[in-house]
Structure 1
Amino acid sequence: MMDFVAGCLGGAAGVLVGHPFDTVKVRLQVQNVHKPLYKGTFHCFQSIIRQESIFGLYKGIGSPMMGLTFINAIVFGVQGNTMRLLGRDTPTNQFLAGAAAGTIQCVICCPMELAKTRMQMQGTGEKKKSTLKVYKNSLDCLARIYQREGVRGVNRGMVTTLIRETPAFGVYFLVYDVLTRSLGCEPDDSYMIPKLMFAGGMSGIASWLSTYPVDVIKSRLQADGVGGKFQYSGIMDCTRKSLEKEGWRVFTRGLTSTLLRAFPVNAATFATVTLFLMYVRREEAPKDCEADPQHHAALQQQAQPTSM
């Protein structure tokens, strides 16, 4: 139960820190290459704040916040149970357990990110006063999509989400396991928290780099049809058209803001989760916690990459 609560708190901290970067990433990924609104990451930040105020950077945050509890519960539950089934705490098993968790949580992640993307694209490039709001909030967004397109519409981008999340979570847990072992993260280490923050931040960067091109396609498919007109018939059609119009660099659009976001998001998640669990364990059984030989394995399950 405490792992569940800690995961929710850590995930919430990660979303609050990283959502502005995610908004910029999505705007850059889906903007028209022939008539770009933004020159780059920092110009995008400046434009959103100038045209839509600081709150423009937090458009669509309701969706990831709503899905946070369910996603964290699924990830921690599946990852922990898979590790127990596999029997040994090895880097390979950490990858497999993370991949399993990434696959299962897509059921919540895909609709959540669809609503987030649609909300982030609402009012793009318009002055705040003249912006026409199609969706009131994330729930209204999903409800309207369901009315128009049914279950298939709500799950738009599910295949690309699966292709992205499965290996991304595997890479995340693998890199985290390797880094925490290399850095020697132990409960009695006075530098444990900075080490966990560093390991979490670097793991987040590694997981994004491993699947970023797929994320670009996912964003484009989920943003497709916002104006009532669909450009892509599927994953391959989107990939082909994107390559033909913009070249291979299309798969790196928004990467800078994504990597800038990845480190603080995962560092914040690790710090929040770890501090909460340390406090709870100290209150319940401080001596047992410090003497537990499995404590290192427990630390490896205290954080996850936030989404996305």
Structure 2
Amino acid sequence: MDFVAGCIGGAAGVFVGHPFDTVKVRLQVQSIDSPLYRGTFHCFKTIIRRESVFGLYKGIGSPMMGLTFINAIVFGVQGNALRMLGHDTPANQFIAGAAAGGIQSIICCPMELAKTRMQMQGTGEIKASPRLYKNSFDCLVRIYKHSGVTGVNRGMVTTLIREIPGFGVYFLVYDVLTRSLGCEPGDRFMIPKLLFAGGITGIVSWLSTYPADVIKSRLQADGIGGVYQYSSIADCVRQSVRKEGYGVFTRGLTSTLLRAFPVNAATFATVTLVLMYARGVEEGPKECKTTQADHHPQIQQQT
């Protein structure tokens, strides 16, 4: 039942947070020499005006497709790792979360590659033009045919750099917050507490790994149209800092933090309700405390 609840909760989080993620990606990868957007809110308005509200949901198919597999991996690995460690402590929560984050990157990296490519497709266009990719699956198929397994896993190292500590921080912070807030069955303020804990957790976990997410987005967006700008992670960091300064590592951060709270709040509220109705009030909330869904934090994640 944890698996089903996590999938439904994650889907709710993706639906709520995807528009913010689209804005984040657009801001992270836009050219500093000829930027289309002046900031987060200008980006929102421009996308809606030029591409309609559906422009904010470009690439949503990819995270939705990978949701089941990612949640299954995260819940399974984290739970088993925690049992192997023997004690439910904050430190073990971090270790188990880090393990889950590393393993789920196998699915997360190709999923986010397709999402990023779809989000960048038709950037700034007022009138629709022929699209290179029909959907997220078609995007991955085309990348595989052109570049093989390496192409589909572009950005894997930066994904691991982001996900391993990101999930560790996520599980640690959520565990500490729920313990501190006294999230106990029967507490009439339990759901508001879970909403608050989940939202704050999402913000903290994104802040802990955001620079890695910027580089990941740039590497995964690189090569659209057949032109590659970066030869490696180090080259991407070097070029980005040289052209835009260290502030480049906060590009799109406002959109990400605005997204982090409602995404995690929606995820945990949905998971809680599903478990309460499925298992009863006494067992549902108790289980929810150890159920995590969405990174960015990126289940998303970032999220």
Whether TM-score is above 0.5 comes out as yes
User: 2: CA distance between counterparts of 1:25 and 1:227?
Assistant: 21
Return structure 1 stretches of 4+ with deviation > 4 angstroms: 295-298
Aligned residue type for 1:301 = T
User: Which of 167, 172, 175 is 2:165 aligned to?
Assistant: 167
Q: Distance in 2 between matches of 1:86 and 1:92?
A: 10
SS at match of 2:293: coil
1:173-193: per-residue Cα shift (whole Å, max 9, x none)?
100011001110011100100
- Shift of residue 303 of structure 1? 3.5
Q: How far has the Cα of 1:69 moved from its partner? A: 0.3
TM-score, normalised to structure 2's length?
A: 0.96
Give the Cα separation in 2 of the matches to 1:118 and 1:96: 32
CA–CA distance in 2 between the matches of 1:26 and 1:35? 16
Report the Cα offset of residue 298 of structure 1: 5.5
**Residue equivalent to 1:228:** 226
Tell me which of 153, 156, 161 is aligned to 1:155: 153
For residues 131-210 of structure 1, the aligned pairs below 5 Å read: 131-210=129-208
The one-letter code sitting in structure 2 at the alignment partner of 1:6 is A
> Could you report, residue by residue, the CA deviation over 1:89-130 in whole angstroms, capped at 9, with x for unpaired residues?
10000101110000000000000000000000000011133x
Query: Match of 1:93?
Result: 92
**In the TM superposition, what is the alpha-carbon distance from 1:297 to its structure 2 partner?**
6.7
Q: Contact between 1:21 and 1:257, CA under 8 Å: does it hold in 2?
A: yes
What is the aligned length? Answer: 298
8 Å CA contact 2:275–2:287 kept in 1: the answer is no
CA distance, structure 2, for counterparts of residue 79 and residue 67 of structure 1: 18
* Structure 1 spans left out of the alignment, 5+ residues: none
Please tell me whether residue 303 in structure 1 is matched to residue 272 in structure 2.
no
3-state secondary structure, aligned to 1:105: helix
Tell me how far 1:278 sits from its aligned partner. 1.2
Aligned to 1:46: 45
Contact map agreement 2:195 2:266 (CA 8 A) in 1: yes
Q: Which amino acid aligns with 1:203?
A: T
The answer to whether the Cα contact below 8 Å between 1:274 and 1:302 also exists between their aligned partners in 2 is no
Contact 1:30–1:220 under 8 Å retained in 2: yes
Cα RMSD over matched residues? 1.2
Change (3 A) 1:251 1:304: same
Task: Give the match for residue 260 of structure 1.
Answer: 258
- Which structure has the larger Rg over C-alpha atoms? 1
Once residues 240 and 205 of structure 1 are traced to their aligned partners in structure 2, the CA distance between those partners, rounded to angstroms, is 27
Percent of pairs identical after alignment?
A: 76
Instruction: Please state how far the C-alpha of 1:132 moved relative to its aligned partner.
Output: 2.9
**Residue 202 and residue 247 in structure 1: after superposition, are their counterparts in 2 closer, same or farther (change >3 A)?**
same
Preserved CA contact (<8 Å) 1:63 1:112:
yes
Deviation at 1:279, TM superposition (A): 1.1
Q: Which residue of 2 aligns with 1:249?
A: 247
Kindly provide the CA deviation profile for residues 14-44 of structure 1, in whole angstroms up to 9, marking residues without a partner as x.
0000000000000000000010000000000
Matches within 5 A, 1:254-293: 254-282=252-280, 289=283
Work out the CA distance in 1 between the residues paired with 2:98 and 2:130. Answer: 40
8 Å contact kept, 2:155–2:220:
yes
- Which SS does the other structure have where 1:123 is aligned? coil
Q: Contact 2:275/2:288 (CA < 8 Å) preserved in 1?
A: no
Q: Distance in 2 between matches of 1:280 and 1:272?
A: 12
How far, CA to CA, are the matches of 1:172 and 1:18 in structure 2?
17
CA contact (8 A) 1:79 1:301 kept: no
